[in-house]
Structure 1
Amino acid sequence: MSKYTNMSILKQSKKSVKIYFFYLMDIFIVLGALLIVYLINEYILKLPAFYLILWEIGTFIFGVFLCYKPFKYGGVNNLTILKRLLSMDHEIYKVQSYK
């Protein structure tokens, strides 16, 4: 008899890595957005510091919005909802007129 037959996988190891209320992937999305803002400013725009801070705050808020998981849509984050919205076939989901 194998020593692994009665082994069970812990439920905690099946879940995503969660830090406080953010998942690890959500943190990477927000940091990636901030990195893109930094790189665009460093090599393309060269904004003054005040506008850069405003742009970084706006990007941080947008990144948190993308990571937010509304309960109405089954707990998937807004980034997934936007990807589904942009990739769906618009010919299938046309609004019908009942005139």
Structure 2
Amino acid sequence: MADYEIPPDLLQKRVDFVAAQKRLSALGRVMPSAAAVAALEAEPATEEQREAWLTLQGECRRLAVEIQEHPYWREVDDPKAARKALEDAVVNSE
């Protein structure tokens, strides 16, 4: 496998994406499920929770598009290997 030099801005976008996913997941664990609300077993999510959820979802979508459309992917000979290198770089940056 060739060595891939990941552009710093792409690496940062991926790190930010992973962090946003973790925050979204954490929020999802504390928000009531729709099933629990429908069964009257829980109160609906607060407006603050809904706004935070939508904001994080939007951040994840934006970053996913920016990562996917980054010009780097058009320059590499093996995009699959380059994506693996990006994931490895994210893990090593933690």
Do both share a fold (TM > 0.5)? no
**Structure possessing the higher radius of gyration over alpha carbons:** 1
- TM-score normalised by L of structure 1: 0.33
Higher helix share: 2
Higher relative contact order (CA 8 A, sep 6+): 2
Higher strand share: 1
- TM-score normalised by L of structure 2: 0.35
